[in-house]
Structure 1
Amino acid sequence: MASEPVARAVAEEVGRWGSMKQTGVSLRYMMEFGSRPTPRNLLLSAQFLHKELPIRFARRALELESLPFGLSNKPAILKVRDWYLDSFRDIRYFPEVRSRNDELAFTQMINMVKMRHNNVVPTMALGVQQLKKELGHSRKVPFEFDDQIHEFLDRFYMSRIGIRMLIGQHVALHDPQPSGVIGLINTRLSPIQVAQAACEDARAICLREYGSAPDINIYGDPNFTFPYVTHHLHLMLFELVKNSLRAVQERYMNSDKDVPPVRIIVADGEEDVTIKVSDEGGGIPRSGLPRIFTYLYSTAKNPPELDRPNVGVTMAGYGFGLPISRLYARYFGGDLQIISMEGYGTDAYLHLSRLGDSEEPLP
């Protein structure tokens, strides 16, 4: 264990940095800045991250220490907090970035930091689930539990998306880029192509779990492109399509009727690109609709136990897929809406801002 004075010094440092102001970045700025990844620009980017990342890590570490309902003391949450403190320390105590060699060493270090945080989402989910079980056994789930935990997780995961985007973008600018790709941003992303890839992945999981999978029809202009982060769009569409496939599959499992396809429609407007994922999987009762964006709510009958290591990707998650997908949409100024007709099906509308001007929403 760290000796007392060292721990206190770090705690004071975290407190100081956690009270500093964060600096938001827009998709357009990342594109313009990254389109010329000269050594000088990479140096400027590293110097910015050297100052910005400790602020973001410190804020989250402080918040992890002051969560309601005793959540901060759950082993899984303490583990995440230690990851954030370690990352704060690694970046904070890295010497100033002054030369190309400094910059390369810094880039390697923040890439390791990013990998350290790969399992933050399931680990946080585990901590919240542990607490919920405990409170449930004692029949003492406070009325405001869901709201407060939800607000915290929204802030926490939005911040995580930002941190991973900043580190990922800086690291990716060092790799040789195909034409039109700037770091993690594809300036000519085809939503139809990303939808096709996400559909293949989601259908593969559906086939594995159920032995069959509904068809998916995609409509829209195959030549239409706009600038966006491929990985973000794939993640959101994969989640929406997976939910639709599961709903249709479970509704028609023992029926001799024709299984209706899931439909995806891509529309390109002046301001927004909207992607609709439409299914006839029976919809969600209206009483359940407000809950689909809360964490730990899953429409699946038996969501997997999080304690099992290597659960892998299953059809039905821990109820984290939709709220996190909505955060990805909002991160660059878009949104995600779900409209349901109980007894018929569900339409999910994914709005993506095509101007790329909106600043990161900084929690």
Structure 2
Amino acid sequence: MAVKKAAECSSKALAEEVHRWGAMKQNGVSLRYMMEFGARPTEKNLLLSAQFLHKELPVRIARRAIELESRPFGLSQKPAVLKVRDWYLESFRDIRSFPDIKDSNDEVAFTQMIKMIKVRHNNVVPAMALGVQQLKRDINCKVVSELEEIHRFLDRFYMSRIGIRMLIGQHVALHDPDPEPGCIGQINTRLSPMQVARTASEDARSICFREYGSAPDVNIYGDPNFTFPYVPSHLHLMVFELVKNSLRAVQERFMDSDKDVPPVRIIVADGIEDVTIKISDEGGGIARSGLPKIFTYLYSTAKNPLDENYEGVSDGVTMAGYGYGLPISRLYARYFGGDLQIISMEGYGTDAYLHLSRLGDSQEPLP
């Protein structure tokens, strides 16, 4: 009985602390600030970075934990969502119980801990997707607009997750004793969008091959010498997702046709404010009535790959099927001040415009 009472007290104290921290102000950073700060990863700078994260991460994590408790339609009670909430509470507890960071030994220990937190949260996206699928099944909802509140929540939730993982990943990467030339943490100051487009296209084509036995060609146009500062993993994820969608559309449209299969075309344009990557296909396009749905988390034209067992699914897994690729890609674009637009000609094909801000000084959008 005493043990039970102690556990109740401790969980009540944790809940109160989570709500106290969740009410605090978040502090956003810009890509430019991350580059300037990380360009000199001295012991002092790493200490300052760790001290900032020690205060900032609990605020962001607490806000998400609170939101996970109060979702409508019973989403908060779905087992997969409860598991995600527990991960956030555990991470909050870990950081809050870590003492003040005073020297480099503390900083190294803190870095190891947040590295483990990042790994703990690897499966958040598929777990949340599973919770939403269960919700859709339970309420048999045909009208997506009824779930508008869920969609807005997921936008906030995933945008915050991108920010948390970027901050942790950047701090951890600054410890790399042998960084690649031009790299500051996770940011490549001389990133070639042409090179990323090539790699992402090959990855998408190999998945298309695996699924259909063949894949359309991808032609890439632009200046091969052009570079700009960006996070390679973010750009790869967005281009991979868009090319994968295009390949699937073209492949399925021309599967039983004796016509030549048209290639997917990627154009990289270097503007003064934006770098724009346009991905065009002749996959038949999307009906105008379907366009508003493509950025919701509750719509997908692919078969659903999710089942009850999402353990072991990592961020690297293909997103096709649970309708998350496009909305999450748009959040990645917006995280550093860019955007993603889809323009479609039904009966012909689709153009995706990925706008990436090259100024790098827009603040993180903090939900």
Instruction: Please give the residue correspondences for 1:165-176 in structure 2 after superposition, counting only pairs within 5 Å.
Output: 165-175=166-176, 176=178
Instruction: Please give the residue correspondences for 1:336-355 in structure 2 after superposition, counting only pairs within 5 Å.
Output: 336-355=340-359
Distance (Å, rounded) in 2 between the aligned partners of 1:265 and 1:143: 33
For structure 1, list consecutive stretches of 5 or more residues without a partner in the other structure.
none
Deviation at 1:145, TM superposition (A): 3.1
Aligned equivalent of 1:329, options 321, 326, 333? 333
Distance (Å, rounded) in 2 between the aligned partners of 1:224 and 1:334: 18
Instruction: Please give the residue correspondences for 1:204-243 in structure 2 after superposition, counting only pairs within 5 Å.
Output: 204-243=206-245
SS of structure 1 residue aligned to 2:65: helix
Corresponding residue for residue 52 of structure 2: 48
Counterpart amino acid of 2:130? Answer: L
Distance (Å, rounded) in 1 between the aligned partners of 2:129 and 2:319: 17
Corresponding residue for residue 149 of structure 1: 150
Corresponding residue for residue 289 of structure 1: 291
Distance (Å, rounded) in 2 between the aligned partners of 1:174 and 1:272: 30
SS of structure 1 residue aligned to 2:106: helix
Corresponding residue for residue 126 of structure 2: 122
Output the aligned Cα RMSD.
Answer: 1.4
Distance (Å, rounded) in 2 between the aligned partners of 1:360 and 1:346: 29
Corresponding residue for residue 245 of structure 1: 247
Counterpart amino acid of 2:129? Answer: A
Q: Does 1:69 align with 2:73?
A: yes
TM-score, normalization by structure 2: 0.95
For structure 2, list consecutive stretches of 5 or more residues without a partner in the other structure.
none
Corresponding residue for residue 162 of structure 1: 163
SS of structure 2 residue aligned to 1:287: helix
- Residues 119-164 of structure 1: per-residue CA shift (max 9 Å, x gap): 000000000111110111xxx6677532111000000000000000
Distance (Å, rounded) in 2 between the aligned partners of 1:91 and 1:171: 15
CA contact (8 A) 1:122 1:306 kept: no
Instruction: Please give the residue correspondences for 1:1-20 in structure 2 after superposition, counting only pairs within 5 Å.
Output: 3-20=7-24
Aligned equivalent of 1:316, options 315, 320, 327? 320
Distance of aligned partners of 1:16 and 1:296 in 2 relative to their CA distance in 1, 3 Å threshold: same
- Residues 331-362 of structure 1: per-residue CA shift (max 9 Å, x gap): 00000000000000000000000000000000
Distance (Å, rounded) in 2 between the aligned partners of 1:171 and 1:313: 23
- Residues 159-196 of structure 1: per-residue CA shift (max 9 Å, x gap): 00000000000000000211210000000000000000
Corresponding residue for residue 60 of structure 1: 64
Counterpart amino acid of 2:37? Answer: F
TM-score, normalization by structure 1: 0.96
Distance (Å, rounded) in 1 between the aligned partners of 2:162 and 2:348: 34
Counterpart amino acid of 1:172? Answer: A
CA contact (8 A) 1:185 1:229 kept: yes
Counterpart amino acid of 2:120? Answer: R
Corresponding residue for residue 203 of structure 2: 201
- Residues 281-319 of structure 1: per-residue CA shift (max 9 Å, x gap): 00000000000000021122x222332546784583210
Distance of aligned partners of 1:179 and 1:242 in 2 relative to their CA distance in 1, 3 Å threshold: same
Counterpart amino acid of 1:160? Answer: R
Distance (Å, rounded) in 2 between the aligned partners of 1:220 and 1:99: 48
Distance of aligned partners of 1:314 and 1:49 in 2 relative to their CA distance in 1, 3 Å threshold: closer
SS of structure 1 residue aligned to 2:353: strand
